[in-house]
Chain A
Amino acid sequence: ILNVEQSPQSLHVQEGDSTNFTCSFPSSNFYALHWYRWETAKSPEALFVMTLNGDEKKKGRISATLNTKEGYSYLYIKGSQPEDSATYLCAPVPNGNKLVFGAGTILRVKS
């Protein structure tokens, strides 16, 4: 069973703060890594799919990096806004197309 760890479990920040979370996974049998943003009662929203070691992706104020050799990915949010409040899920793909999810990081941004 692939063990995917996300830290921290939850995070409370002030509006304007920058923040980052970690996803760690076994570095063997790696095909891709997904990041999703999930608000309650809505569909998980795809943020990034990363496949190559050293990949860096950016979408507005959110960016992510990938290190497949050591088995981790970081998600950064610059200048957090209340609307960034959500659960952020990472999901490596060890083989095929099956996503293996971490438990998520719950972000709450206070205005």
Chain B
Amino acid sequence: EPEVTQTPSHQVTQMGQEVILRCVPISNHLYFYWYRQILGQKVEFLVSFYNNEISEKSEIFDDQFSVERPDGSNFTLKIRSTKLEDSAMYFCASGSRGTYEQYFGPGTRLTVT
């Protein structure tokens, strides 16, 4: 069964460093999303992406964040200069046209020290 994959499973970085979180969505999906969950809090929406552009973003998704679909299979989230409060589990999801369904990857745990 097709699934969303994410790498790495755990990333440790120092404050101020750039990180790139990678996702491979399900191959025929057209809608892509990033969510995150800070420990002890709810899963929260960051950004949605369709047709090679951002379709919606939350207040969290400021200028430090960017997304890209560089090669037609990967979908990446970049954080330019990480802060301690960026420590969270980051989930990628993808969905197909005509349905509301979103399929999630297993997440990348980002730890900023």
Contacts and interface: CB of A to CB of B under 8 A. Distances in A.
Contacts of B99: 49
A64 to B, nearest CB: 14
Contact of B45 (A34, A49, A99): A99
B92 to A, nearest CB: 10
A35 to B, nearest CB: 12
B100 A102 contact: no
A40 B10 CA distance: 14
Contacts of A100: 45
A97 B104 CA distance: 14
Interface string A11-55: 000000000000000000001101010000111101001010000
A97 B33 contact: yes
Interface in B55-113: 55-56, 58, 91, 95, 99-107
Interface residues of B, number: 24
A34 B104 CA distance: 12
B48 A43 contact: no
A98 B4 contact: no
Given A97-B95, A98-B56, A49 B100 contact: yes
Which 4 residue pairs are nearest across A and B when measured between Cβ atoms?
A101-B43, A32-B100, A44-B104, A43-B106
24 contacts: A4-B42, A34-B102, A43-B3, A43-B4, A43-B104, A43-B105, A43-B106, A46-B103, A51-B100, A96-B48, A97-B31, A97-B48, A97-B55, A97-B95, A97-B100, A97-B102, A98-B58, A99-B35, A99-B45, A99-B102, A100-B45, A101-B35, A101-B44, A103-B42
Given A43-B105, A97-B95, 4 more contacts: A4-B42, A34-B101, A41-B106, A99-B33
